[in-house]
Structure formats: C-alpha cells, structure tokens
Amino acid sequence: MKILIWGFQVNPEIRDSVIDLIEQLKESDHAVFILDSFAMAIQLDNDIEHIPEHTVPDDIDMILSIGGDGTLLSAAQSVMKRPIPLLGVNLGSLGFLTGLERDWRSNLAEVLAGHYTVEERMVLNCRQMNEDGKDVTFWGLNDVVIERGEYFTMLAMQVHVNGRYLNTYSADGLILATPTGSTAYNLATGGPILDPGLEAIIITPIAPHTLSVRPIVLPADARIEIKLVKPEQKGRIYIDGKVWKPLNASDSLRIRTSSYRIKLVTLPGLTFYDKLREKFHWGRRSAL
C-alpha cells in the first residue's frame, strides 16, 4: 500500500511515534510518504518522500493521521472529494474519529494485514451566496458552525427547512452537525449524541436567548437556508473548526447532505458504543 502520514501537532510522543510508525511500515514493505509541513515541524530527517498538503496524489491507499480528532478532520478536508480511507492514531484526548489508541503498534499490524473495516460517514455541503450572486462551497465531516464575529452581540438567524420557516434563533450562534459531529461541539452545547450510522442533520443553538429553544434533528434530505436578520450584523462560518469565512447579513447559507462520503478505517469488533463507554466512563462508579 501507499500510505501517507499526516499531522501537525508537535511533541516528543508524536515524534517518537512517527519514527516507529515509519519503521514498522517499511518493514512491512509499504510505500511511505509524509506531509511536508509535518515532517518539517517534527524535524524528521530521513529519506521518505514529502508531499505538500494540497497535492495529495490520487493513488494514495490510506492516510494515517497522527494526533487527535482535529488532525483527522484536517486530513478529511484534503480528501473530501476522493475515496481515500483515513486511519487516525489518537495521541490527543477523546479521539472519537480515530481508529487506534496509544497502544497502536500491535493493532497497526492487524490493519496492515488487511484486518480492518471501512465506515462511510456523511458529509455536509455548505454553500455561501452573497447578494451579487457569487457563491463558494465548503464541505464538513463534523459540522458547520455560525458564530458571532468580532462584536460581543447575539445573532438573530432566520432558518428555513425545505422552504418552510422553522425559527428565528437569537443566540451566540448555531451548530449544524452530522451524526459524526454529534460528539463534538454539538455535544458540548447540549446537543444529542447520534449513532454515526444514521443519516441526519442536527441544529443546535449556542447559548440561546430563549430557554425553550432546544436542538432539533432533521432528516438527511433536509434543505436548510440560514440568513442573518439584522442588516448590521456580522458573523463567521466555521467548517470542522478548520476553515472559516466572514458572514454578512446580505449572505445566504444553504446547507444540505453532500454526495461525498468520508471513509474511516476502524478495527473489527470496536463499536461506537464501546467508544462512548470508554471515553465518557459510562458504567463506572466514582469513589466518594
């Protein structure tokens, strides 16, 4: 296989892991490449080929993301339109998207032997249109987040679903999350956890002014349109926490499920429910 090592975090554990990882991959006769900025950041001195972030070859068979969920999300942005599987090695904190944990060495051997499964995850398509008719499109594996801009004021956001008025939210912002992203920012703001195998879109307000406003789960075929209500308002759009753009009152956001899918590599037998129990310590009694 042709395997690209991806990352951007820098610490001794990550550097040592990358060196071990390269050695194990070479011993297994795989072609190894590394993201050029990552190699420079960890001061890697070896003879493997360095690849720039925006020129990932189509014939890469797998990307190994070293870090946490944020690192894997950046890798997902690079392969959004291509069916290149992603395998995350969690050297961060929670690691809901990563397939391997800190004891990755033995489990990686199983993956290299072909003992793994690939899950296809839903992606959001976000189209930003301005009053001149110009538009730009983004794709997010986790979420599309609308937040207030540089001024400390609430946003008034009018939301339509399939052409029908849903609500005008007065809040610090809105999160539109996929089931994959339900355990990220959505969860931190009180949104529900969804099984990543579902096809759905969650709308979760951030610090809503009205206490009766709650998150809502929409079907995957929903067509969502969002506009700022007040002409003087300005906000920001964040895609997976990696890409951001300014949002003006004259802009319109149209969000729907994308035809693209992200492929995540997982170990057989490790379920989403196993991860929930492990990461959130469900079923464990704390000592008094």
Q: Give the residue numbers annotated as catalytic, written as ranges.
A: 69
Alpha-carbon span 40 to 34, nearest angstrom: 10
CB atoms within 10 A of CB 41: 15
- Find residue 201's DSSP bridge partners: 218
In the chain, where does DSSP find H-type helix? 12-27, 36-41, 69-78, 104-112, 185-188, 272-280
Cα→Cα distances 217→9, 231, 256, Å: 34, 29, 13
Q: Look up residue 209 and give its DSSP letter.
A: S
DSSP strand pairing (117-129 vs 135-140):
antiparallel
Tokens of 77: 């942005």
Phi, psi at 83, each rounded to 5°: -85, 50
Cβ proximity of 183 and 96 under 8 Å: yes
Tokens of 115: 């003992």
